Amino acid sequence: MLGRLDDELEDSAPERRFIVRRGDGDTLIARLPRPDTDPTRWAVEAEGARRLSVPGFLPVGEVGGGAAELPWCTAPYVPALPLPAALRAHGGPLPGPVVRALGAALARTLATAHAQGVAHAGLSPAAVLLTTDGPRLSCFGAVRAAAPDGVRRSGLPGLDSGSLAPEQAAGGSPAAPGDVYALGAVLAYAATGHTVPEREELPDFLREPVTACLSRDPARRPQAHRLVALEDGPMPLPAPVVVALARQSAGLLAAELPLPADRTAP
């Protein structure tokens, strides 16, 4: 293990994510279930993610583990910051053009998944990884990996309660409208720093789409493909976020430097 993808003080991700180096030298993102998640359900979702091909989802390579150990899965490593870490690096909410592009990219990803009959069922600020090539969605199936009774009693482990659609918080099955609700919460978070803002806190361009996404009635929420028009073009990452990504990459290179011949590892 070379480090954590998530801040050590950050406990909002529905799964644990680490940067690791395999014996053959490949660098990967390793994902494991949280201690308060059903590992069997999580393993089923990891295997399901491995079989998917949705641009914008963090791809799953290997899936491992068994009855005697925790399940795990891997993804190719690219420098990435979870959305909460990106806001910390930037010193607050992201600029409007970034939020616009982020919304369009996430809506496009969800629309592709929904067209295949797949709900992400785990979208939250911590599930969004920002990279120089655009956002990637991690934590696939986090809602499905939690027992419905657990969701009703205490909320989904690691998932910001503001990102969970009311029908799912009540134990309902995850579906596309729940993803759209979560998308609204993520965009509200990116623009204001929290997932349940007052309408007046939202920038003008987000008020209508976010309010519609956060409707308590699933039938009143827009379909994801109708939100793609928020912005066209690449996502312009703020300079502090680019610097944080560069530092992560540089730290990884330093961690991978071989020791001199006359020294041994501690």
Cα–chain center distance at 247: 21
Q: What is the CATH number that goes with domain 81-239?
A: 1.10.510.10
Cα–chain center distance at 48: 17
pLDDT band at residue 143 under the 50/70/90 scheme:
confident
Query: Is the pLDDT at 195 greater than 60, yes or no?
Result: yes
Query: Is the pLDDT at 150 greater than 60, yes or no?
Result: no
pLDDT of residue 170: 85
**End-to-end distance of the chain based on CA atoms, in angstroms?**
14
Mode of pairing for the β-strands spanning 134-137 and 69-76: unpaired
Superfamily name and number for 3-79+241-254: Phosphorylase Kinase; domain 1 (3.30.200.20)
Mode of pairing for the β-strands spanning 3-4 and 27-33: unpaired
Token look-up 């592709």 returns 112
Domain boundaries, the chain: 3-79+241-254, 81-239
Higher pLDDT, 40 or 266: 40
Average pLDDT, the chain: 87
pLDDT of residue 36: 77
Q: Which of 26-35, 164-173, 201-210, 231-240 has the lowest mean pLDDT?
A: 231-240
- Phi-psi label, residue 136: left if phi above 0, alpha if psi -120 to 50, beta otherwise: beta
pLDDT of residue 84: 93
pLDDT of residue 104: 93
pLDDT (average), residues 40-46? 91
Query: Is the pLDDT at 259 greater than 60, yes or no?
Result: no
Query: Is the pLDDT at 152 greater than 60, yes or no?
Result: no
pLDDT in tens, 66-120: 666 889 999 999 999 999 999 999 999 999 999 999 999 999 999 999 999 999 9
pLDDT band at residue 214 under the 50/70/90 scheme:
very high
Query: Is the pLDDT at 151 greater than 60, yes or no?
Result: no
pLDDT (average), residues 5-17? 73
Range ranked top by mean pLDDT from 9-13, 32-36, 141-145, 205-209: 205-209
Q: What is the DSSP letter of 173?
A: P
Query: Is the pLDDT at 181 greater than 90, yes or no?
Result: yes
Q: In terms of Cα–Cα distance, which of 128, 175, 124, 158 is closest to 37?
A: 158
Query: Is the pLDDT at 180 greater than 90, yes or no?
Result: yes
